[in-house]
Amino acid sequence: MADIPVPKIPEICLTKTFNALDIKWIKSVNDDVTNSAYLPPDKRVIVNSKGIFFCLEINPRYSASLKQVPLGDIILLYQRLDKQKTKCFTHLVTPIGNNVIPSPYQNSVWQGRWVKVVAMTENQAIKSIPLASTDWHKMHFTGAHYNLSYGDGRIRAIDHNQQIPPSKLISLQNNIWIKFQPWIK
């Protein structure tokens, strides 16, 4: 898979200095094969001189949610690590293309969107950011689809329906940004 070319990267993705307030979206990811989606040694992760990239895949019925993220916004990814036991935040990524495309990976029927890694932890819970170690573990949105204990793989706006007071949203963004500092690229 290393021969899959990364598409042209918009200037904003190469020159923007990201900060906590850019974290506006959240998505659960999983990989039934490796139990550590988009974390090395996952062959879908491409490293080159311009950064670290992958095509963030999504179930085709949810592709509209992936289209809504603008360039320059950050998506916070979380997943279960350690054989599906510990829920961890593992990535901060930003889209580098505007289009949802057929997956470039062999044997995948999913669609995706190319993203650049802003920060990426390691593939073990003890070397990642366990949800329980953050202020996010108290985060509950209205309904099952907005509770971090539930993940259907859609991209969600963190402040969907403006349920979070602005000061709480900023606090959550800063909390996770600080936790990701050792891995900021």
Residue 185 lies in a domain: no
| pLDDT given at position 146 | 47
Domain range for 50 is: 11-176
Q: 53-64, pLDDT tens digit by residue?
A: 999 999 888 888
| pLDDT given at position 68 | 92
Residue 87 lies in a domain: yes
DSSP H or E stretch at residue 172: helix 166-180
Q: Which two tokens stand for residue 137?
A: 């573990």
Q: Which two tokens stand for residue 144?
A: 């099952």
Residue 5 lies in a domain: no
Residue 184 lies in a domain: no
Reported confidence tier of residue 141, pLDDT bands at 50, 70, 90: very low
Residue 157 lies in a domain: yes
Contact 146, 156 (CB under 8 A): yes
Tell me what the pLDDT averaged over the chain comes to: 85
Secondary structure (H, E, C), 66-101: HHCCCCCCEEEEEEEECCCCEEEEEEEEEECCCCCE
Domain of 151: which CATH number?
3.10.590
Residue 1 lies in a domain: no
Give the mean pLDDT of 104-130: 91
Domains held by the chain: number: 1
| pLDDT given at position 144 | 41
User: What is the Rg, in whole angstroms, of the alpha carbon atoms belonging to the chain?
Assistant: 15
Residue 3 lies in a domain: no
Judged against a pLDDT cut of 90, whether residue 106 lies above it is answered with no
Residue 182 lies in a domain: no
Give the mean pLDDT of 8-27: 91
- The whole-angstrom separation of Cα 38 and Cα 46 is 10
